Amino acid sequence: MGKSRTTKFKRPQFNAVGLPVNAVKEAAVEEEQLGEDSCPAAELLEKLESPSADVREFACASISRVVQQSQTIPGFLQRDAVRRLGPMVLDSSLAVRETATGALRNLSACGGQEVCENMVKHDVMTPLTALLREVRLFYNQALSVFNKAGLLDLVVQCLERQPHNMELAISAAHCLHTVTEDNPELLCSMNTAVLGALDNVLLTSQPSMAHSLLRTLAAGTLWNLKASLPAARQAQTLGAVVATLSQCLALDAGTIIPENAPAVTDGEDAAAAEPAMEEMDEEEEEPKQKKNGKAVKVDNDFSDLLPRGKEELREATALLTAQQTSLEIIVNMCCSDDPSDDEWEEESSSDESDNGPDSLSDGMSNLMSPLCLSAEVHEALINHSIPEKVLKKTEFPKTDAMDVCHQNPSWRGLIKKMQRVQSRALTCLHSILSAMDAESLGGPAALQGAAQHLSTLVFGAAEIPKDEEFLEAVISAMRSLLQMIASKNIPQCMTPQQLMSLSEAATRCDVVSVRVNAVAILGITGSTLAKEKGTAGTLQMIGNALLHVATRDADLVVNGEALDALFDVFADGDEAETAAKNIQLLPALKALQPVFKAKIRKEGRGKYSPQQLCVLDNIKVNLRRFIGYLEKVVKKKVLFKISP
C-alpha cells in the first residue's frame, strides 16, 4: 500500500453555512404548535415565494428544523422542495441564502444516500455551484482590495498594539494569518517592518493563553510568508516557528481547564437544564437593545473567540484555539506545496506495486504522490519532539476536563473545541506518519505503542465512536501507521474481531473517506497476515468483508478500494490460496466484473473526476488480470493433482 497525501488545512475564508440560533428556536416553536405528526411542507414551501425576505428566511429556517425529523422528508420531496429551495441560495437576501443552504444541508444529512441522489437528480448542484463561485469571487475580490489598498501596514500596526490591547492584536493576527495564505501578490509587499513585528510577537514571553494564541498565529503567518524570507534567515525563522508551536502543544489543557474552571452554583445547575445550553458551539446569548421597535443583538466583542467578562473561560478558549491552530500549521508543513492540495478532504492511495493502480481518492481529490518533507522542516520537527507531542494530544480530551465543562453551562462550548483538538491531532499524526520514516518516529517499539494507543481510541469504548470528524481522523491515522508497520515487517496489533468491528462500523458511515480507509486497513492487515502460517480463517473473514463492500457500496471509489485491497490480500501464499478457495473468490470476482464495468460506464462520467475515472479504469484492468491470475492458480492445482 502506498502513502496517502494528507489533509491540508485552509484558514476559514467565510463563515460556515449554518442555521442561526434564533431561527432554530422559532422553527422549533412552530413545529411544536403544528404537532409532531403533521408535516407543514406545503405551507412552508409556499412561504418561499413571499415577497418579504423575513418570511422567506423564516420558511427556510423552519424547513431546516423540520427535516431533521426524517419522517417529514418524503412530504417535502413530494412537493418538489429541492427545486423550490435551490434558487433560494442565490436569493437577494444574504440571510435567506444562509438559511436556505442550511435547509438543503439538513435535508441531505438527514435523508441519507437516496435523498442525496434525488437532490442531484433535481439539479440542486446548479445553484450551489453558482453560489460557491460567487463566494469565491467575493473572497478573491476582498483579497485584491486588501492588497491594493495597502491595508497590510495598518493591520501590522494593530498587531503591534499587543502590549496594551490584546483583543485588537489577536484580531489583527487572525487577519494576517488568513490573508497571507496563498496570496503571492501580498508577498511582494513584505518588508522588514512586517517581518520584524511578527518576530517581536514570537519573542514575547508572557505566560497567558491569549499570548500563546497570539504567538501561534504569528508563527502561522511567518510560515505562510516563508517564500518571501531572505535565504539567510529562513532556517532561523523556521526554528522559531516550530519552537513556538512546540511550546503551545506542551501546555496541558486537560489539567489547566479543571484547575481554572469556576465552582458550579445552584443557579448554574438550574441553567444547565435549559434546552439552549445543549448546543455545544453556542456562546451565551448577547444582550439585546431596541432599534426601530425591534430587538437586535448587540455584539460588544471583537471576536467570538474570547468572550468578555469571563477571564478563565477566555483563557481556556484561547488555549484550545492556539493548540488547534498549531496542529493545523504542522499539517500544512507536512504537506507538499502542490496547488492541488487546497482541499480539506483527505486523499488516499492504493498499491505501490507495478501491477496495482496508482491511487484512489476519497471522492473529491486528485491523484497523489508520496509526500516530501524538506530536511530543514524534518529536523526542526524532530528536534522539538513534535511527533511525541502530537501523539500526546490525541489522548485529549481528558475525563476531568470534560466533566468540568459539562457541569459549568457557560463552559460547555469548550467540549466541542476539545474534541476538535483531538481530531486535529489525529489528522496531524496522519500527516507526520505520511511524511517521515519509521526511524525518525522512534522505531518499531514506538510505532507499536502508537498503534496500541490508536486501537484503544477506537475500541476502548463499548462501541466504536460515531462522531464522523473523529472517525475520519483516527482511521486515517491508523491507516498510515499500519502501512508503515507493514512496510517494516513489524507484527500487526489488531485482532480479527477488531478488524471486523472496524469494517462494520465504517460501512455504516456516510463519509466516503472513512469507508475507503477502513477497507484499506483490511487490505494492509490481510496482506501481512497472508505471509504467516495458520491465518486462512482470518483471511476468509477479511475477504468476505471486502467482497461485500466491493459489491454493495454505493460509491465507485469505495468499490475500487475494496477490489484493490482484495488484490493485495490474495496476491500470493498458501494461506491466501486456501482462503480464496473457501470463499469462492474467483467466481465472485467473475460475477462482479461486468457489474463493475457497467457501473463505471453508467455512473462514472457524471459523478467522478477524470483523475478518479483514470484510477477506476486501472482497477478495472487489474481486476481482469487478477481473475486471470486466480484462474492460473486453480489450473496449476488441478494439473498438480492429476499428474502421475
Residue 608 inside a domain? The answer is yes
Residue 361 inside a domain? The answer is no
Q: How confident is the model at residue 638 (pLDDT cuts 50, 70, 90)?
A: low
Nearest alpha-carbon partner for 322 in 132, 458, 177, 143: 177
Three-state SS letters, 574-611: HHHHHHHHHCCHHHHHHHHHHHHHHHHHHHHHHHCCHH
For the segment 555-599, what is each residue's pLDDT rounded down to a tens digit? 999 999 999 999 999 998 899 999 999 999 999 999 999 999 999
Question: What stretch of H or E contains 297?
Answer: strand 294-297
0.75 cut: is pTM over it? no
Q: How confident is the model at residue 380 (pLDDT cuts 50, 70, 90)?
A: very high
The CATH number of residue 66's host domain is: 1.25.10.10
Nearest alpha-carbon partner for 524 in 548, 553, 505, 503: 503
Residue 456 inside a domain? The answer is no
Last residue of a domain, one of 143, 176, 201: 143
Domain hosting 505: range is: 493-643
Beta bridge partners of 518: none
Residue 537 inside a domain? The answer is yes
Last residue of a domain, one of 92, 123, 143: 143
Query: Can you tell me the distance from the alpha carbon of 387 to that of 391, in angstroms, rounded to the nearest whole number?
Result: 6
Residue 352 inside a domain? The answer is no
Decide which of 138 and 87 is more confident: 87
Last residue of a domain, one of 120, 143, 166: 143
| All three cell numbers of 141 | 475580490
Residue 566 inside a domain? The answer is yes
Contact between residue 397 and residue 421 where contact means Cβ atoms under 8 Å apart? yes
For the segment 459-505, what is each residue's pLDDT rounded down to a tens digit? 877 777 878 889 889 999 999 999 999 888 888 777 878 878 877 87
Residue 605 inside a domain? The answer is yes
The CATH number of residue 529's host domain is: 1.25.10
Mean pLDDT of 334-349: 44
| All three cell numbers of 278 | 445543549
Residue 360 inside a domain? The answer is no
Question: Given this model, what pLDDT does residue 182 score?
Answer: 86
Query: Can you tell me the distance from the alpha carbon of 355 to that of 358, in angstroms, rounded to the nearest whole number?
Result: 9
Question: Given this model, what pLDDT does residue 579 score?
Answer: 95
As for how many domains the chain has, the answer is: 2
For the segment 43-59, what is each residue's pLDDT rounded down to a tens digit? 899 999 999 999 999 99
User: 3-state class of 313 per DSSP?
Assistant: helix
